[in-house]
């Protein structure tokens, strides 16, 4: 993977300028050929790097990019933050209703985005795979919340 994605273009192009500086015959042709090969190589590598990494098993789960945003003007002067968290099937609290989840103090679930739709969070609302939660948390509880959200289900080793 490293050899496929490694930096390759700068050195050959710089070296191709040496014959031009020395004033050798056909130096411009040599430079053009080197530049074309480097450009073609970079385009081919750039287009194939993701499929190659997937084939080697070097990629992680795709991050879901939310289509929604929350704009809070006055929160900057408070002791709280809004955290956006996307759940996946490995997260321990997926499949549980909000009422059964023991969130740290000073945590409020503001919104759930599920399949592009807003779901109003209630105690009976069940967290599902790929749900995006917007969570209001005090700065003092942020570390505990992140630790809780990062806990995974017990997955047996292969």
CB 137 within 8 A of CB 145: yes
129 and 78 within one domain: yes
Token pair of 48, please?
């194939």
Partners of residue 113 on adjacent β-strands:
118, 132
State which residues form the domain around 120: 74-150
Distance CA 123, CA 10 (A): 58
Distance CA 41, CA 23 (A): 27
Distance CA 54, CA 61 (A): 10
pTM of whole model > 0.75? Answer: no
Q: Residue 48 domain-assigned?
A: yes
Q: For the chain, what is the domain count?
A: 2
CA angle 111, 86, 145 (to 5 degrees): 80
**Mean of pLDDT over the chain:** 81
How many residues in total does the chain contain? 158
Query: Which CATH number covers residue 123?
Result: 3.30.70.1450
140 and 100 within one domain: yes
Share of the chain above pLDDT 70, in %: 82
Q: Residue 69 domain-assigned?
A: no
Helix axes 10-22, 27-55, angle to 10 degrees: 180
Q: Place 155 in a pLDDT band, splitting at 50, 70 and 90.
A: very low
Distance CA 102, CA 142 (A): 14
Q: Residue 158 domain-assigned?
A: no
């Amino acid at each position: 993977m490293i050899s496929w994605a490694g930096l390759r273009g700068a050195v050959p192009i710089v070296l191709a300028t040496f014959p031009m500086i020395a004033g050798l015959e056909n130096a411009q042709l040599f430079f053009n050929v080197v530049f074309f090969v480097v450009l073609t190589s970079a385009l081919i590598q750039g287009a194939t790097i993701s499929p190659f990494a997937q084939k080697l098993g070097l990629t992680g789960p795709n991050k879901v990019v939310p289509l929604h945003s929350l704009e809070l003007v006055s929160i900057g002067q408070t002791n709280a933050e809004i955290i956006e968290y996307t759940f996946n099937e490995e997260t321990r609290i997926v499949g549980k209703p909000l009422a059964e989840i023991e969130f740290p103090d000073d945590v409020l679930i503001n919104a759930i985005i599920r399949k592009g739709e807003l779901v109003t969070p209630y105690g009976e609302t069940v967290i599902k795979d790929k749900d995006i939660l917007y969570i209001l948390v005090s700065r003092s509880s942020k570390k505990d919340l992140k630790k809780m959200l990062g806990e995974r289900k017990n997955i047996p080793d292969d």
